[in-house]
Amino acid sequence: MKSRNSFQQNQKKPYIKWTLIGVLSLAVLAAASWLFANDWNVERSLSAFRSTETEVPDGQPEAPTEEAPVPENPQEETPAEPAPPVEETPETPAEPVTPPAEEAPETPAEPEEPAPPAEEKPAVQEKPADATQYPPNITLPQKPTFIKGILLANKHYPLPQNYAPGESKEARAAFESMKQAAKAEGINLHAFSTYREFARQKVLYEGYVAKDGQQAADRYSARPGFSEHQTGLAFDIGEAGQEQHWASTSFGATAGGKWLKANAHKFGFILRYPEGAERLTGYMHESWHFRYVGTEAAAKIFSTGMTLEQYLGVQ
């Protein structure tokens, strides 16, 4: 019996041996597989094994989630190849949302009427309280001032120094027509002074200042650049044979002076500096000084008794 048992035991030993070897081999292979799945990182393998034990319910094993290896030396980490892009199935476009209505573009404003040329714009906007005084520090402009199509020159609206139009042909023609009309009534008119350039006016004015002083000269003579004679539209008129009344207040009492005062407007001339209007015109009364403005304006000024400054709205 003993020998049989011994024999049976001897027969069992090889089976046990190989069974143990098989179990150990399987265990080694399992451990190796587990380590291989975790990049041969023992700590990660143990951590993954613990999480498997605690997170898997009802003993159902789950495939371990493969995490990107954490290299011990970041500089030696080999970047993982990017996953190929997954073709997305185009979504069915939703119904377009109607955007809020855009504000209609503003209708471009109609172009404003062009501003009048510089010469049509008054150089001085405010009406002077006393036209006999020159504004302080006034300078000569670059362009002359036209208002209602009429050239204006006085102590507040000067002319450019280089403005030199010469005697107006239109004004000369009107004077000749007026002269013929007066001659038919026995009056022989003569224009003894018309256009004067800037330099000539300067000589005259400085002579009057030397003779009578500036304050007195400013009442009857214009400074250079401020004279109507520089416009070529001013005519100093007398009667031939009555030279003693030329450039004198007494001319207004002569037949020629009276005729001009009553008829000059018919030919486009006005008595530029009427009596009693010095504070409006800037100069004392001159019965011989007539200014050509055209028949329409002259008729209006004559019928209303206005001065040129009042007609143009600057006084």
Q: The CATH number of the domain where 183 resides is what?
A: 3.30.1380.10
Question: What total number of domains does the chain contain?
Answer: 2
Residue with tokens 């003894």: 192
Are residues 142 and 224 part of one domain?
Answer: yes
Indicate whether 47 pLDDT > 50.
Answer: yes
Whether residues 54 and 149 fall in one domain: no
CA distance 153 to 177: 25
Q: What is the mean pLDDT of the chain?
A: 79
Q: Is 142 a member of any domain?
A: yes
Domain extent for 45: 2-64
Strand segments (E) across 149-222: 150-152, 189-193
Residues 72 and 44: their CA atoms lie apart, in Å, by 12
Rg of the chain on CA atoms, in Å: 58
Centroid of chain to Cα 302: 44
In this predicted structure, what is the pLDDT of residue 20?
Answer: 74
Q: What is the pLDDT of residue 233?
A: 98
Burial class (CB in 10 A: 0-12, 13-18, 19+), 130: exposed
Q: Residue 184 and residue 196: Cα distance in Å, rounded?
A: 30
Tell me the whole-structure pTM to 2 decimals.
Answer: 0.62
Range from 21-35, 108-122, 126-140 carrying the lowest mean pLDDT: 108-122
Dihedral angle over CA of 160, 171, 297, 263, nearest 10: 140
> Same domain, yes or no, for 140 and 35?
no
Inter-helix orientation angle 2-37/42-55, to 10°: 100
Shared-domain flag, residues 186 and 284? yes
* Same-domain pairing of 129 and 31: no
- The continuous run of DSSP H or E covering 201 comes out as helix 198-212
Residue 3 contacts by C-beta under 8 Å, 6 or more apart in sequence?
none
Per-position b or e across 233-269, b if 16+ CB within 10 A of its CB:
bbbbbbbeebeebbbbeebbebebbebbbebbbebbb
pLDDT per position as a tens digit, 257-290: 999 999 999 999 999 999 999 999 999 999 999 9
Q: Are residues 42 and 177 in the same domain?
A: no
Question: What pLDDT is attached to residue 91?
Answer: 47
**Is pLDDT above 80 for 194?**
yes
Same domain, 206 and 296: yes
> Both 57 and 142 in a single domain?
no
* 23 lies in the same domain as 145: no
Residue 247 in this model has a pLDDT that exceeds 90: yes
Residue 88 lies in a domain: no
Residue 240 has pLDDT above 90, yes or no: yes
Would you say residue 1 has pLDDT above 50?
Answer: no
